[in-house]
Amino acid sequence: MNIVIVGSDSRAGLTDPADVQRFGTVGGRRSDTLILAQIIPSQQRGVIVSIPRDTWTTVHHDGRTYEGKINGAYGYGPQAVIDTVYGLTGVPINHYIDVNFGGFRKMVDSIGGIDICNQQSFYDAVIGYGLSKGPHHLGGLDALQYVRTRHATADGDFGRIKRQQEFMRAVMAKVGRPSVLGNPIRVNRLATAFAQNVTVDQFFKLPDLIRLAVSLRRIGQNQLETFSVPSRIGNVAGQSVVFVNQSQAEPLFGALRQAKDPAATIAPTTRATPTTRAAPPRASAKAAAPRAPAPSCPA
């Protein structure tokens, strides 16, 4: 099952006045995050490939094409995103998932939050969020800020991709526990949050969602491999873009097309870093600076 996952900057579903003030309002919608996920139930493993939002590629739209940033496809709708990702990778896409701010936050809360191991202290002055190095328990609001921040470190969007991948590992570790998918109350809350706040393609029916949930339960944190499309920063007409390194990317895309393990040809970008210590108090999105250092993450 090959799924394109889009994280949009849509504020739809955020009705709390505090959230409106915190996140502000934006005109239109943009895709801040673009992921190609491959789930292989028979092998009980999964692959996550992050595609930088500024990747310069051929954008497909209603039979027409133009060269531009890959996140430009989002403005033309889901089919344009699917066609553009397929054009870049050659990997057939089975399904499409679009998650907005509200959906992300509610889904994280529905499973009781996520434990992460932050690898580097940071503070993002643009969104007013900081987090110390070490283990943390994040509720929906803090988790949203954690995966959004890209102005806190010198590696910008690439640093954000690493944090998002670590976060997805933590999600896999959490949903694989009986306390989540084995808990009818939490499953109902997660399903409700998903149904009300997440957009999927018209062919993604209930049996597919059930199959996906069962597959996720079988895939542990150590069976989820994460990769980023090999690329480099460049410039086109004065704008910063990301160019794909085709010679390095093709082995990755080829493995996905054949449902083989990409790690045989290209090294994963992140490794599992399970947290075993008690987590300190959760972070606050209103923090003016990172809090005192937390205990180091276990090796």
Q: Where are the domains of the chain?
A: 2-100+164-264
Q: Report how far residue 164's alpha carbon sits from residue 161's, in angstroms, rounded to the nearest whole number.
A: 5
Q: What is the pLDDT of residues 19-49, one digit of tens each?
A: 655 555 555 556 778 999 998 877 878 899 9
Q: Measured between alpha carbons, how far is residue 281 from residues 54, 142, 219, 291 in Å?
A: 35, 12, 29, 10
* CATH 3.10.110.10 correct for 2-100+164-264: no
Task: List the one residue out of 215, 252, 227, 231 whose CA is nearest residue 90.
Answer: 252
Q: What is the pLDDT of residues 177-227, one digit of tens each?
A: 767 767 777 777 777 777 777 888 877 776 776 677 666 666 765 678 889
Query: Under a CB-based contact definition with an 8 Å cutoff, are residues 131 and 120 in contact?
Result: no
Q: Measured between alpha carbons, how far is residue 296 from residues 3, 122, 134, 142, 276 in Å?
A: 34, 15, 5, 20, 11
Q: Report how far residue 103's alpha carbon sits from residue 108's, in angstroms, rounded to the nearest whole number.
A: 9
Mean of pLDDT over the chain: 79
Q: How many CA atoms lie within 13 A of 131 on its CB side?
A: 30
Task: List the one residue out of 167, 158, 178, 157 whose CA is nearest residue 272.
Answer: 167
Query: Under a CB-based contact definition with an 8 Å cutoff, are residues 2 and 256 in contact?
Result: yes
Q: Report how far residue 9's alpha carbon sits from residue 146's, in angstroms, rounded to the nearest whole number.
A: 14
Q: What is the pLDDT of residues 101-141, one digit of tens each?
A: 777 888 888 888 999 888 889 898 888 889 999 999 999 88
DSSP category for residue 112: T
Q: Measured between alpha carbons, how far is residue 138 from residues 120, 131, 224, 231, 295 in Å?
A: 16, 11, 21, 31, 16
pLDDT at 258 over 90: yes
Q: How far apart are the first and last CA of the chain?
A: 32
